[in-house]
Structure 1
Amino acid sequence: MKGPVLTIVVPCYNEEEVLPETSKQLSAVLTKLIDDYLISRESKILFVDDGSKDRTWALIEKEMAINPFVKGLKLARNAGHQNALLAGLETAATQSDCVVSIDADLQDDVKVIRTFVEKYRDGFDVVYGVRDKRETDTFFKRATALGFYRLMNKIGINLIPNHADFRLMSKRALNELFKYKETNLFLRGLIPLVGFPTTKVFYDRKERFAGESKYPLKKMLAFAFDGITSFSITPIRFVTFLGFLAVIISAMAGGYAIFQELAGHTESGWTSIMISIWFVGGLQLLAAGIIGEYIGKIYREVKRRPRYAIEVNAYSNMALGKQRLEVLTNTVGK
């Protein structure tokens, strides 16, 4: 029985320090799976260079020259992690039965890919890699991550706790995912909407093999807020609630002021006036900011700009041969 064609998609942004080791470990995983007749010999590793400024693409080209598993996709500019991942998924889905996505930093356990494939062969279309523990994280990161997942659950966004972008998806699940055309991409929220049979595989996350994290606190907060505003209008409803609360408090304060006036106990109220002004002003700024965030998302969506641009597509041998022919033709023409 011929096994399914598997492609491992690896988004890369300035990953020159870790890329050779990532290629080595993933190639070993594919070799073992092929030897055990779990996947097809046509399976591949697709590195997606997301506009890196270092030698990432040069190393991908080097790996392609010496490693038959490795293919490359070079984006014309930095499109962001989610868009780079989507570019890899859309490219890989054309010739694959299933696709695994994994970050290049080797924090996710590559050995778990075998379990992913076994679950896929058992009939699951989506297999989520879920962290069993968060011992490698700081207390602050653990606390904020837990708070984020609880908040998302409270406002009705169905996320898989402790799951990032380490997962397997079947071809039909990917084709369903590609029907979602929004520009504000948050794959962790979109994929649970796809449906089809799903399961989880738990694993221990490792320390980063080399290099620095591409998601510092500022980026993580922006990513979390983007996910919330892409899937829920709860923040706007919360602002509405605050507005009603401010009106009630103001009415109570007004009633108290009238009572004091009638009782003849009026005093200068500079402090209370200033507090009220700052309170109401803060609510107005908060409301304007949140509404502006949603308007900004609408602005980006209606323009329908491409989410990424591909400069070099060396995923298939046919595509690579075509590009080499074009280079040769241009050289001869000159």
Structure 2
Amino acid sequence: MNLEPAAYQENKAYSRSLNGKKIPSLSIVVPCYNESEAFDACVKELDSVIQALISDNCIRPESVIIFVDDGSKDNTWALIKQASIQNSRIHGVKLSRNRGHQLALMAGLSTVTTDICISIDADLQDDTSCIREMVEKYMQGNEIVYGVRNDRSSDSFFKRSTANAFYKFMTAMGVSQVANHADYRLLSKRALSSLLKYKEKNIYIRGMIPLIGFTSDKVYYSRSSRVAGESKYPLKKMIALAMEGVTSLSVTPLRIISALGFITCIIAAIASFYALFEKMRGSTIEGWTSVMISIFFLGGVQLLSLGVIGEYIGKIYIETKDRPKFFIEEMTYEDQNESA
């Protein structure tokens, strides 16, 4: 006869799994910027996922959902606060000003205290049913699990084309990342701790995660349409994100400049020998067009090169200041860092 208290037996059940690995507590981190239209649906969906996983003994009861308000101009923060009052599982983090998706996500991740965490956008375009599969992959020994889109039929032709061009461009520039993976992923406590050790201010999380290493796997899903509201990543922001990723994680553009300069010098040398040869033959012809083309070409190359070099110098300047990446203005729970 088992004389152990029921509560103790229940706690033991949560402390083991089929392969002997401890059942984890989970935090779902959701960056939000002007997501008042999608917020209610997002809370309902993610909370139902959490409840189902707890009921099936896949995660521990202390699992939470952390919403990070990235300086929204609408009433997103008011909705987060209200939800946290109604549901103790909902936690809120408010940044002092808009810092962009990557830093907002990093702010939320810095407050995680659970065994594992999953980041997802509030628009619910990422399939939430994959959360269960991600947890299962973690229980199998993976410390990083990437959510990878294998179907973007819900996107417009322009969106699909620019997204594919984005990943190809990043690969060509030497940035190591998982194709068609945005910021929907699971991180173990050790992987998250390693990520937070990166102290640079210019961050591109999608490219930083593969640098960590550790055992990883992927789950595949079809991308859905936004549940509500408008996309927060138009072409302008996608280009800015690409530039941030390239200049933060790769020196390929600088090497391209060096190669371009070397090629230009070779062309100039050949052109000089040809001009000297023609001069000695006495068959040179005065030409305004060729001179102007040469000036514009070399001037354009020089300005482009200076712009790329200036981008790197600017990032070095920002890094040397060692300013905090963000400030947390308010939280719906206590005992967390206020800045990082």
- For the Cα contact (< 8 Å) 1:109–1:205, is it kept in 2? yes
Question: Does the 8 A contact of 1:99 with 1:168 survive in 2?
Answer: yes
Structure 2 unmatched ranges of 5 or more: 1-12, 15-22
Match of 2:311 in 1: 293
Q: Which amino acid aligns with 1:110?
A: T
Partner of 1:80: 100
> Is 200-209 or 113-122 further displaced after alignment?
113-122
Give the C-alpha shift of residue 82 in structure 1: 0.7
User: Secondary structure at 2:73's aligned position in 1?
Assistant: coil
Q: What is the CA–CA distance in structure 1 between the aligned matches of 2:211 and 2:279, rounded to whole Å?
A: 59
Q: What is the deviation of 1:259? A: 2.4
The answer to whether structure 1 residue 33 and structure 2 residue 69 are counterparts is no
Percent identity of equivalent pairs: 55
Question: In the alignment, which residue of structure 2 is the partner of 1:328?
Answer: none
Deviations 1:193-216 (A, max 9, x none): 111110000001100111111111
Letter in 1 for 2:65: I
Pairing 1:120–2:121 present: no
Answer yes or no: is 1:56 the counterpart of 2:50: no
- Which residue of structure 2 lines up, in the alignment, with residue 160 of structure 1? 178
Which residue pairs with 1:332 in the alignment? Answer: none
Cα distance in 1, alignment partners of residues 173 and 39 from structure 2: 38
* TM-score, length-scaled by structure 2: 0.90
Whether 1:70 aligns to 2:93 is: no
Amino acid at match of 2:176: N
Q: Is residue 245 of structure 1 aligned with residue 263 of structure 2?
A: yes
Count of residue pairs brought into register by the alignment:
316
The residue matched to 1:123 in structure 2 has which SS? Answer: coil
Mean alpha-carbon deviation: is it higher for 235-244 or for 289-298?
235-244
Looking at structure 2, the residues matched to 71 and 303 of structure 1 have their Cα atoms a distance apart, in angstroms, of 32
How many Å separate the matches in 2 of 1:205 and 1:177? 26
Deviation string for 1:114-140 (max 9, x for gaps)?
Answer: 111111111111110000112122333
Q: Name the structure 1 match of 2:326.
A: 308
**Amino acid of the residue matched to residue 177 of structure 1?**
L
Partner-residue secondary structure (3-state), 1:117: helix
**SS of aligned partner of 2:37:** coil
User: Residue type of the partner of 1:9?
Assistant: V
Q: Give distance in 1, aligned partners of 2:111 and 2:205.
A: 16
Distance apart, 1:252 and its partner CA: 2.0
Contact 1:46 1:315 in 2 (8 A): no
2-side partners of 1:141 and 1:290: how far apart? Answer: 26
2:204 is equivalent to residue 186 of structure 1: yes
Distance 1:50 1:66 in 2: 22
C-alpha distance after superposition, 1:251-275 (max 9, x if no partner)? 2222222222222222221100000
Cα distance in 1 between the residues matched to 2:153 and 2:291: 49
Q: Does 1:269 align with 2:314?
A: no
SS at match of 1:165: strand
* Aligned-partner SS, 1:17: helix
The one-letter code sitting in structure 1 at the alignment partner of 2:325 is R
- Does residue 134 of structure 1 match 2:152? yes
Distance in 2, matches of 1:137 and 1:256, equals 53
Q: TM-score of the superposition, structure 1-length normalised?
A: 0.91
d(CA) in 2 for partners of 1:185 and 1:75? 17
- What is the CA distance between 1:282 and its match in structure 2? 0.5
Query: 2 CA distance for matches of 1:57 and 1:281?
Result: 49
1:231 matched to 2:249: yes
For 1:32 and 1:48, locate their aligned partners in 2 and report how far apart those are by CA, in whole Å.
23
Aligned to 2:30: 10
The aligned amino acid for 1:59 is: L
Instruction: Show structure 1 runs of 5+ residues with no match.
Output: 320-334
Name the SS of the counterpart of 2:36 in structure 1. coil
